[in-house]
């Protein structure tokens, strides 16, 4: 009986933890600046396009948070290939100078019938201010154990494509 209760609690935590992470990240979608003091009117902050010539902009992806190493490595390769197709310039060396840095957060949840990957990519300028957020979900077939086991190359390819297309659209908006 006790083992059944512990198993049920573990399953609930494994399902709820990624959802809490995504909800927390989604709550951060508001203004990238802290709110003003009580009684002061907040200064409107418009998330705008890049302030420089798109052909000279470079991006550096920071190591992804939340994904196992093999998944993160495969997604990095897919993002690099998609960036080349979309004409984005990525800086590959850790700590190298770049116009924008991209912080990636990934989480997965699932059951026997399906697994879902939640992803968030925050584009930040050199002062650390978020200027753009790219987020979404991808669903794939399920797995018996770890939901990351259900994440295949096609799923990672779709995440890379959608993310890079959105970054490129933001970069090249008129």
- Residues 127-139: pLDDT tens digits? 999 999 999 999 9
Position 6 pLDDT exceeds 60:
no
The ranges assigned to domains in the chain are 2-28+55-171
What CATH fold (topology level) applies to the domain 2-28+55-171?
Answer: Double Stranded RNA Binding Domain (3.30.160)
3-state secondary structure of 98: coil
164 contact partners, CB below 8 Å, separation of at least 6: 79, 82, 83, 85, 86, 88
d(CA 157, CA 81): 10
Lowest mean pLDDT among 2-6, 71-75, 93-97: 2-6
- Residues 39-90: pLDDT tens digits? 444 333 334 455 568 889 999 999 999 999 999 999 999 999 999 999 999 9
28 contact partners, CB below 8 Å, separation of at least 6: 133
| Greater pLDDT, 51 or 173 | 173
* pTM (whole model) above 0.85: no
């Amino acid at each position: 009986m006790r083992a059944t209760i512990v198993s049920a609690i573990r399953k609930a935590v494994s399902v709820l933890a990624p959802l809490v992470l995504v909800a927390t990240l989604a709550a951060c979608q508001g203004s990238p600046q802290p709110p003003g003091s009580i009684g002061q009117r907040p200064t409107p902050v418009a998330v705008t396009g890049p302030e420089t010539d798109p052909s000279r902009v470079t991006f550096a992806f920071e190591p992804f948070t939340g994904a196992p190493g093999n998944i993160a490595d495969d997604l990095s390769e897919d993002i690099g290939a998609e960036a080349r197709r979309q004409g984005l310039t990525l800086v590959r060396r850790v700590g190298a100078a770049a116009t924008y840095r991209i912080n990636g957060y990934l989480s997965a949840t699932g059951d026997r019938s399906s697994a879902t990957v939640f992803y968030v990519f925050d584009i930040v300028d050199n002062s650390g201010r978020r200027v753009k957020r790219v987020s979404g979900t991808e669903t794939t077939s399920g797995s018996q154990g770890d939901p990351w086991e259900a994440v295949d190359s096609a799923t990672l390819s779709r995440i890379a494509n959608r993310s890079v297309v959105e970054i490129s659209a933001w970069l090249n908006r008129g």
